[in-house]
Amino acid sequence: GVGLSDASPDEGVVEDLPLIDEKAVEQLTEGLISHYLPDLQRSKSALQELTQNQVVLLDTLEQEISKFKECSYILDIDALFSEAKHYHSKLVNIRNDMMMLHEKTSKLKVSGMNI
């Protein structure tokens, strides 16, 4: 006898297929498209809106980042000013010391001349 493995699984299938009706295929295609197209169009508009919102969000983030950078620059400037004050007071002290030394050397010269 003939075993199950000897028979081709596709045997007789082609003869069983009815003739394809082009109009039916067209109507089925239109039906399928009309079923899914509204959802796809809604998804497309939702994605476009999301993309626009992301662009706005990115612009806002860039503005906030630039504000933080400005704050950082202000802190740097503030540190620079405090450092300048520190060095200014050092210079004032050095000038006072030099004036005092100048007075002392002037007095020594005068007392040295009088000897």
Task: Give residue 94's pLDDT.
Answer: 96
Report d(CA 113, CA 107) in Å as an integer.
10
Residue ranges of the chain whose pLDDT lies below 50? 1
The secondary element (H helix, E strand) that includes residue 72 is helix 22-114
- Residue in 113, 111, 114 with CA at minimum distance from that of residue 103: 111
Q: How distant, in Å, are the alpha carbons of 91, 109, 110 from that of 100?
A: 14, 14, 15
